[in-house]
Amino acid sequence: MRRPEITPPRAGLAVLAVLVLVGLWLIRPMWHGIALLFYTAPIVWLPPLMVLVIGAVALRRSTQWRTLEDLEVGRRPDQRLVAFPIVAFVLLVLGSAFNGALVSRSLATNTTYEQIPQLPAGGQVRLVPREVAEQNASSAFNSSTETLTDFRIVRTDEGLQWTALRTPQGLFRTFSRNSKGLVILDAEQTARTLRQVDQELKVAPGLQVTDNLRWKLLKRHFLIELADPIGIETADGAKIMVPYLERKGWLVRRPVLGGVFLVAGDGTIEDLSPEEARGRPELVSTGRLFPDGLARQVQDAYAYKGGIFNKLFVHEDQTQITDTAANQQPYLIDFGSGGLGPQWVTVAEPYGRAFAASAIFLTDATTGKTRVWRVPSGTSLSGNRRALEAVQAVSIPGIDFGDSRGGSGNFRVVEPRPVFVRGGLKYLASIIPQSSNAVSKTVVVDAETNKLVFVFANDTDPQAEEKTQRYLATGQLPDGATPPARDEPGTALGGTTGASGTTGSAAGGSSSGGGSADGVDEQLDALLSRQRDLVEDTEALKEALRRERADGG
């Protein structure tokens, strides 16, 4: 009788290993993060691994011992071999600590920062902050089976708009239903204008497993970093655009734009190189080819132009970028097809505890080319954080920030977007309720004087948006309004409310223009009158409360 053949154990293990590798490859998007950690930071793990390998070889070749019997009689490995794991550990710690700095330094040395002598004039900027867009769109979206995700600012033929993807809601629907399209919200009108684009998207964020956008794209390219997905409306219907990053370098690997995925409604995926994507008008027109995250990395890396030693210890001519809201810099500003086009704009401050502006970065949203305007020596311009403080320091009728002076704090000021009025730096900020359901006021702060130039009353003036855009384009104050006189922080805003209903703000220097002495006296009289009325109202309220308590007692 013939005995059955027995597969050698080693062959069985080899077959099992192959099956495991095939299984891991099929589900590779699930462990993409771990693989990317090793791929993007070889300086962290490769030098320690090489030291350990050399140490293992040296240990094996040691002539002082060969067998366990050698150990028993006192022959032991060379004690100097213990240095190998110690050195490997030190290299691991140093690599982990300095990898970020080395990547930023590599990014800085491989980026051409074009110095520009002056700021560009004009530019189209959004008037609706992101959190207001999210709140307004979600509250107007009438669906019990969908939710809105992935809000992104996009340039269109109608101006800047917020887009969001319609994602199935609930565990069952994420497995069994597709996305139904987009919603589009006008970013230049504070009054809610929501429009739905109905089109089924078979591959989208929020869908589960094989229909998931991330799963599909990482199956195409594994060792890449996906940027934020962006819903766009094209002549062929709704599509999803996803730029992605690749890495260049050996031990130190810097991020670069690797290409752009374009996903159609039927699930068809186009993988475009950066050059191919720039040849597609429907993609270029969005102003989103070059990701904002990569633009921010390039701008942050400018702090390493003087070297890592300067960044860590000397800090000479060093910039730092700070954020004031959840929606961090950069901001998308469109300078038009006849100008610079769409740009990612960021304000940087000097290193340390200074709050001034030291540099303005403009990164082309199509090509990634970065321009830098350095504030001239001897010129003082407020940074973005100081601009918000300037707004909060001035009393605006009907607005309570709830600062150190007390109050309910029902309002806050957000998103100081840098704008360039007649080539000068201003900040356009939005005053919104705590609920983030509207834009109550749009304020302009002069970076040179750190004073309010104007307050546009979006809650009462139906033409406030038009006047804001006109001011940004021309620098002219709205018709029917007197340029306000200079006020001290903590007082009510001066200025005359014209027929338009727009109220002037505190502004100093040349930004606000001058007024006659009679005009200033009239404004002071009006201010004192309002203060007296406020005191009388407060006293009446206190008396009413006293009587109510007395009656209750």
pLDDT tens digits, 154-167 = 999 999 999 999 99
Last residue of a domain, one of 289, 312, 341: 289
- Note the pLDDT of residue 545: 67
Question: Is residue 96 one of the residues assigned to a domain?
Answer: yes
- Note the pLDDT of residue 517: 46
CA separation for the pair 541, 528 (Å, rounded): 20
Last residue of a domain, one of 269, 289, 309: 289
Residue 541 has pLDDT above 90, yes or no: no
Least confident of 66-80, 294-308, 448-462: 66-80
Residue 536 has pLDDT above 90, yes or no: no
Question: Is residue 235 one of the residues assigned to a domain?
Answer: yes
| Better-predicted residue by pLDDT, 285 or 407 | 285
Q: Are residues 387 and 347 in the same domain?
A: yes
Residue 371 has pLDDT above 70, yes or no: yes
Least confident of 19-23, 199-203, 236-240, 310-314: 19-23
pLDDT tens digits, 127-160 = 999 999 999 999 999 888 999 999 999 999 999 9
Q: Are residues 523 and 421 in the same domain?
A: yes
Average of per-residue pLDDT values in the chain: 86
CA separation for the pair 388, 429 (Å, rounded): 8
- Note the pLDDT of residue 354: 82
Residue 528 has pLDDT above 70, yes or no: no
- Residue (of 391, 388, 381) closest to 356 by Cα position: 381
Q: Are residues 157 and 179 in the same domain?
A: yes
pLDDT tens digits, 61-87 = 776 655 666 656 556 666 778 899 999
- Residue (of 295, 268, 237, 235) closest to 107 by Cα position: 295
Report how far apart the first and last C-alpha atoms of the chain are (Å, whole number).
109
Question: Is residue 13 one of the residues assigned to a domain?
Answer: no
| Better-predicted residue by pLDDT, 71 or 99 | 99
Q: Are residues 316 and 194 in the same domain?
A: no
| Better-predicted residue by pLDDT, 455 or 7 | 455
Q: Are residues 473 and 345 in the same domain?
A: yes
Question: Is residue 430 one of the residues assigned to a domain?
Answer: yes
- The predicted model gives 451-456 an average pLDDT of 93
- Residue (of 35, 63, 46, 124) closest to 365 by Cα position: 124
- Note the pLDDT of residue 237: 93
- Note the pLDDT of residue 341: 95
Alpha helices in 155-199 (DSSP H): 171-176
Residue 216 lies in domain? 141-289
Q: H or E segment at 89?
A: helix 83-109
- Note the pLDDT of residue 59: 80
Q: Are residues 152 and 247 in the same domain?
A: yes
Q: What share of the chain is helix, strand, coil (3-state, %, to 5)?
A: 35, 25, 35
- The predicted model gives 313-325 an average pLDDT of 93
Question: Is residue 551 one of the residues assigned to a domain?
Answer: no
- Note the pLDDT of residue 506: 40
Confidence of residue 495 (pLDDT cuts 50, 70, 90): very low
DSSP string, 281-348: HHHHTTT-SS-HHHHHHHHHHGGGTT-HHIIIII-TT-EE----SSSPSPEEEE--TTTT-EEEEEEE
Question: Is residue 119 one of the residues assigned to a domain?
Answer: no
Q: Are residues 521 and 431 in the same domain?
A: yes
Q: How many CB atoms lie within 10 A of CB 418?
A: 26
As for how many domains the chain has, the answer is 3
Residue 323 has pLDDT above 50, yes or no: yes
Confidence of residue 437 (pLDDT cuts 50, 70, 90): very high
Q: Are residues 357 and 234 in the same domain?
A: no
pLDDT tens digits, 378-414 = 899 999 999 999 999 888 888 988 765 555 678 999 9
Q: Are residues 332 and 349 in the same domain?
A: yes
Residue 304 has pLDDT above 50, yes or no: yes
Confidence of residue 532 (pLDDT cuts 50, 70, 90): low
Residue 492 has pLDDT above 60, yes or no: no
Confidence of residue 325 (pLDDT cuts 50, 70, 90): confident
Residue 133, both tokens: 């867009």
CA separation for the pair 297, 324 (Å, rounded): 17
Question: Is residue 41 one of the residues assigned to a domain?
Answer: yes
